[in-house]
Amino acid sequence: MSLDPENGDPENGVESPERRQRRSAPPAARRMSAAAKETVLIVVSALVLSLVIKTFLAQAFYIPSASMHDTLIEGDRVLVSKLTPGPFDLERGDIVVFKDPGGWLGFGATEPASPWREALKRTLTFVGLLPQDAGEHLIKRVIGLPGDEVACCDAEGRLTVNGVPIDEPYLRPGSIPSEVGFDVVVPEGNLWVMGDNRQNSQDSRAHLGSPGGGFVPMDDVVGTAFVVLWPLNRIAILHDPVATFEDVPDPDPTSSEP
């Protein structure tokens, strides 16, 4: 007679060792085992859900510099929607996180972390449980969309977009729209971006003479920042400055880059 290794032969009163061991285990031990399995299931499900959200919907980023004062300050954690660009179109005034188009970021020395700390940080960042740090990313505000002519400055010191001067309420108090004069037409598939803290922002203006002309390829955009998550006293929705650009017309399709 062969026995089922799990259950034995209950009809003939024969019990397998495995079943006997489970039945004889103390109730507390069985409860602990069930709780451990449930905890593992919850943790794994949470990690998978976090990874899916980070990959397709939203990702947290850490603000490392002063270029977006006072809208964003050092240490802020922002949540970035990956649905824009994508299902939703970018708009002037959006705050975007993008990969370094090439040469925008310096290479300052950083304090080396122990291998296990670095591995843990990379793992938690990968699954979305830690915010992405500056790494190879920057955060700026979209001023010009593909085809837009962006220039500075008019007689009153304001930026103009497609010939219309704009008032920028998001600028850091004391900042001016630009201390550098420029007149550019944004190429197809690119953006012109600037920081809110204009006199402390290495943005599109600082790379006019570099390869790429200071423009950011749309393909390098990770998404748009829409909320400050941390610290608690900084939690806020990042509203688009709709009124700032509402009078700006669509770009002239016959215009060309100077």
pTM: 0.73
Q: Catalytic residues, which ones?
A: 67, 140
The two structure tokens encoding residue 7: 């259950």
| Each residue's pLDDT tens digit, 159-215 | 999 999 999 999 999 999 999 999 999 999 999 999 999 999 999 999 998 889 999
Instruction: Please give the pLDDT value at position 131.
Output: 47
Instruction: Please give the pLDDT value at position 50.
Output: 47
Cβ–Cβ under 8 Å, residues 21 and 15: no
* pLDDT at residue 257 tops 50: no
Report the C-alpha gap between 213 and 166 in whole angstroms. Answer: 23
Average pLDDT over residues 128-153: 81
Identity of the residue numbered 149: E
Report the C-alpha gap between 129 and 82 in whole angstroms. Answer: 16
| Each residue's pLDDT tens digit, 200-212 | 999 999 999 888 9
Distances (CA, A) of 221 to 15, 156, 161: 64, 32, 21
- Crossing angle for the helix pair 115-127 and 27-56, nearest 10 degrees? 70
Q: What is the dihedral of CA 117, 122, 126, 129, to 10 degrees?
A: 30
Q: Which carries the bigger pLDDT value, residue 132 or residue 26? A: 26
Report the C-alpha gap between 51 and 40 in whole angstroms. Answer: 17
| Each residue's pLDDT tens digit, 39-95 | 666 655 555 554 545 455 788 888 888 999 999 999 999 999 999 888 889 999 999
Backbone φ and ψ of 116, nearest 5°: -70, -35
Question: How many CB atoms are closer than 10 A to CB 214?
Answer: 22
CATH topology for 57-245 is Umud Fragment, subunit A (2.10.109)
